[in-house]
Every structure is written in C-alpha cells, then in structure tokens.
C-alpha cells in the first residue's frame, strides 16, 4: 500500500482551506402544475467538500421513467399525473453532514367539462392537519383563474 504525502506551505496569517457542512441555497417552494405538463425543481447547495445532491419523494418514489436529475441538481418530471403530487426533498450531503429542502408539488387535474379542475394530493393527512384551505381552479373562456376555497 502506497501513501502519498503532499507538502503544504502555510504562511503566517494564511487562513488555509475551510471545510463546511452543506447548506442549501435555493428556498423551498410550492409548485402548481397542470396534469400532463412538465416541471423542474431546482436545488443548489454549498459546502466543502462539494455536496452530492439527490432527490427523494416523501411517502412514495420518484415517478418511474418520467424523471431526470441533472448534474446541476435540477429534478425534471415529464408528463405529470395527479398521483405525482406530493413532497419532494432535495438532499445535499458531504462528509461533514447533510442539509434538506422540501418542495410541495400540486398537480391540477384536467377539467371535467364543468369548468373546474380538481386538485388531488397524495399527502398523509397528518401533514395537512394545520392547512385550512386548498386551491381550486376555474376556467373561463380564454383564461384560468385561481380561487382559494375553504
């Protein structure tokens, strides 16, 4: 077994290299998307050594065959279905620790002819116990408006 030692010259006052645990620099978001469309969830993190970014879905798995995780940390989901709604967590990990950021994805269903597109979620009721409203969408001739429904 060979060991290599690298010699560093540290001058007085030279702070050297600081290592740090990961921190996520993109804020958590609530994203609302129409069924059959695509969405992108971004995640950027800082830390030294550079953290590895991964995505997981709470209470489920990432949509099989319809998602891509790019090298820059962006999760893209194509052909959204109502069952894709849920909480997606970006995890940034290095040898010093881990940071997480949670994004809520809401998927609007297609209108059923009534002009109302229903919102379906697949979140456990324990996560929604403090939520006192939900969003529904009403369609008009050439526009879509959001209403807060109790």
Q: Model pTM greater than 0.85?
A: no
Distance CA 2, CA 17 (A): 25
**Could you state, in order of their start, the residue ranges of all structural domains in the chain?**
20-112
CB atoms within 10 A of CB 126: 7
Per-residue pLDDT of the chain (150 residues; tens, 9 = 90+): 444 444 444 556 667 788 999 999 999 999 999 999 999 999 999 999 999 999 999 999 999 999 999 999 999 999 999 999 999 999 999 999 999 999 999 999 875 554 444 444 444 444 444 443 344 443 333 333 333 333
Distance CA 39, CA 59 (A): 20
User: Which backbone phi and psi does 125 adopt, to 5 degrees?
Assistant: -60, -25
Q: Which CATH number is associated with domain 20-112?
A: 2.60.40.10
C-beta of residue 54 within 8 angstroms of C-beta of residue 94: no
Q: How many angstroms separate the CA atoms of 92 and 125, rounded? A: 27
């Amino acid at each position: 077994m060979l060991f290599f030692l690298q010699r560093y010259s540290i001058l007085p006052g030279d702070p050297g290299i600081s290592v740090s645990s990961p921190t996520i620099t993109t804020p958590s978001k609530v994203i609302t998307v129409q069924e059959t469309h695509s969405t992108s969830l971004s995640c950027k993190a800082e830390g030294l050594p550079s953290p590895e970014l991964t995505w997981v879905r709470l209470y489920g798995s990432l949509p099989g065959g319809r998602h891509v995780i790019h090298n820059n940390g962006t999760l893209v989901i194509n052909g959204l279905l109502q069952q894709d709604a849920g909480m997606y967590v970006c995890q940034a990990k290095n040898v010093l620790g881990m940071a997480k950021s949670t994004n809520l994805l809401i998927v609007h269903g297609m209108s059923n002819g009534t002009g109302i597109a229903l919102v379906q979620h697949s979140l456990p009721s324990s996560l929604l116990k403090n939520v006192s409203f939900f969003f529904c969408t009403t369609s008009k001739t050439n526009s879509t408006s959001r209403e807060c429904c109790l």
